[in-house]
Amino acid sequence: MINLEQVTKRYMNKIALQNINLELTKGKIIGLVGENGSGKSTTLKLIAGLIHPSKGTITVNGEAVDRRIASQVSYLSELDEYYGFYNVRQTINYFAEQFSDFNLQKADEIRAFMNLDPNAKLKQLSKGNRGRLKIVLTLAREVPIILMDEPLSGLDPMVRDSIVKGLISFIDLENQVVVITTHEIKEIETILDEVIAIKDGSIIGHHHVEQLRIEQNMGIVEWMTSMYENSR
Amino acid sequence: MTDTFHSSTPIYSQLAERINKQILRGELKPGDKLPSVREMGIQVNVNPNTVQRTYRELEGMMIVESRRGQGTFVTENQSILNDMRERLKREEISQFVVSMHDMGYADEEIEAGLQKFLANRKGDDDE
């Protein structure tokens, strides 16, 4: 479904990603883990067509990625940049106008699941509720690829739990692939099918999470620690 | 029952173990319907693909059966459930005995100690 071949990304003279090869198939939730600045967000932005590789090719369902890939990709950015004068319902409606694949009914189900008041003004939302709203907006699109950049970062445990449950409830695993970058590994470990560790712009490991436990008796945290130590 | 899967064994088998224990305790009875894959995923914060694997595993052991279009049910075949009960008892005892041997206890000591322990506990329960 998603293919990266020999992908390198340079910013000026700094290398963000080097010779990345990656194949991701549908029906899975995939975690992208690594230290700050390791290249996680760059990888997501490349798949989303928001930036272009300096070298190599990226394809989604066999087609080369360019700006038009937005019709197949729902991308949750690390930033939140919404209109403060809108309320929750208006924001949802605004997104429905932007994306023809946006399912309003599903959006309302997720909003209710997340306990978000449709009439609350955005500028008055707590950080946690803004995080929940981002999940609503990202998951309500019926697209094959969902990319989430740090959906749990900076949120309290209750919000993180509701987001994890929201993911389990509303991702369509028959048809979608989800890629999540995160620091909060413990929270999300039990919902990942695969984990990819990135360090200094290179992939240092890629595993099925259950296989890791069967073969090496390790969870993701232990595995990551050992990968990082070995690559030193 | 949302939290804590330990990291040394696969989640699908830990979840299967939990369901087996629910059956042993009678929280799930023969013929009871298990939650759908997604509902179970939400209850325990686990990927639906993993829950699916748990159900497949239990189905392979004939502890549950899936009925087309209806869901997954605890078997009503009592002899399979009796076998499971015996098997889990044997496994638990064997682990206990291994760790007692590791600490240097002889079989007679284990047996006597266990009997004494149970007798004392029984006294406590009667009070």
Q: Does B30 touch chain A (CB under 8 A)?
A: no
Confidence of residue B2 (pLDDT cuts 50, 70, 90): very low
Give pLDDT, residue A70: 79
Confidence of residue A85 (pLDDT cuts 50, 70, 90): confident
**Percent of chain A, pLDDT > 70?**
100
Q: How far is A121 from chain B (nearest CA, A)?
A: 29
Give pLDDT, residue A132: 94
What are the residues of chain A with a beta carbon less than 8 Å away from any beta carbon of chain B? 27-29, 161, 164-165, 168-169, 173, 190-193, 209-210, 213-214, 217-222
Give the chain A residue whose CA is nearest to the CA of B48: A168
Question: Which single residue is written with the structure tokens 């009070």?
Answer: B127
CB A186 within 8 A of CB A152: no
Chain B residues whose beta carbon lies within 8 Å of the beta carbon of residue A219: 6-8
Enclosing H/E stretch for A4 = strand A2-11
Task: Give the ipTM of the model, two decimals please.
Answer: 0.85
A-B contacts at Cβ under 8 angstroms: 58
In this complex, the residue of A28, A169, A209 whose CB is nearest that of residue B38 is A169
Find the helix packing angle between A209-216 and B11-24, rounded to 10°.
80
Question: Which single residue is written with the structure tokens 């509720």?
Answer: A129
pTM for the model? 0.88
Q: What is the maximum span of chain B, computed from C-alpha positions, in angstroms? A: 54
Q: Which residues contact A30 (CB under 8 A, 6 or more apart)?
A: A24, A177, A178, A179, A180, A192, A193, A194, A195, A196
Q: Which residues contact B77 (CB under 8 A, 6 or more apart)?
A: B30, B62
Give pLDDT, residue B123: 67
Give pLDDT, residue A67: 77
Q: Does B53 touch chain A (CB under 8 A)?
A: yes
Alpha-carbon dihedral sign for residues A117, A122, A128, A133: positive
Per the DSSP assignment, residues forming a β-bridge with A131 are: none
Domain ranges of chain B: 11-76, 79-126
Burial class (CB in 10 A: 0-12, 13-18, 19+), A51: middle
Average pLDDT over residues B105-109: 96
Q: Does B38 touch chain A (CB under 8 A)?
A: yes
Question: Which single residue is written with the structure tokens 């939730």?
Answer: A29
| Model confidence pLDDT, tens digit, residues A36-53 | 889 999 999 999 999 999
Q: What's the rounded Cα separation, in Å, for the pair A44 and A79? A: 14
> Of A112-121, A209-218, B18-27, which gets the smallest average pLDDT?
A209-218
Cα separation values, A30 from A180, A193, A199, B101, Å = 6, 6, 17, 43
Q: Does B43 touch chain A (CB under 8 A)?
A: no
Find the helix packing angle between A127-139 and A104-113, rounded to 10°.
150
Average pLDDT over residues B10-28: 95
Domain B11-76 maps to which CATH number in 1.10.10.60, 1.10.10.10, 3.40.1180.10, 3.40.50.300? 1.10.10.10
Q: How far is B3 from chain A (nearest CA, A)?
A: 9
User: In a mutagenesis test of the A interface, which of B13, B38, B42, B47 is the best target, namely the one with the most A β-carbons within 10 Å?
Assistant: B47
How high is the mean pLDDT of chain B?
Answer: 92
Secondary structure (DSSP) of A93-155: HHHHHH-TTB-HHHHHHHHHHTT--TT-BGGGS-HHHHHHHHHHHHHTB--SEEEEESTTTT-
CA angle A50, A55, A57 (to 5 degrees): 70
Q: What's the rounded Cα separation, in Å, for the pair B53 and B34? A: 14
Give pLDDT, residue B126: 58
| Model confidence pLDDT, tens digit, residues B58-96 | 999 999 999 988 999 999 999 999 999 999 999 999 999
Asked whether residue A27 carries a pLDDT value surpassing 70, the answer given is yes
Q: Strand, coil or helix: what is B33?
A: strand
| Model confidence pLDDT, tens digit, residues A104-146 | 999 999 999 999 999 999 989 999 999 999 999 999 999 999 9
Asked whether residue A28 carries a pLDDT value surpassing 90, the answer given is yes
Give pLDDT, residue B3: 55
Task: Give the domains, in start order, of chain A with CATH numbers.
Answer: 2-230 (3.40.50.300)
> Of A12-21, A77-86, B105-114, which gets the smallest average pLDDT?
A77-86
> Of A64-73, A202-211, B11-20, which gets the smallest average pLDDT?
A64-73
Enclosing H/E stretch for A222 = helix A220-230
How high is the mean pLDDT of chain A?
Answer: 91
Give the chain B residue whose CA is nearest to the CA of A194: B47
**Mode of pairing for the β-strands spanning A2-11 and A14-24:** antiparallel
Give pLDDT, residue B1: 41
Give the chain A residue whose CA is nearest to the CA of B2: A161
For residue A20, give the nearest of A48, A44, A1, A49 by alpha carbon: A44
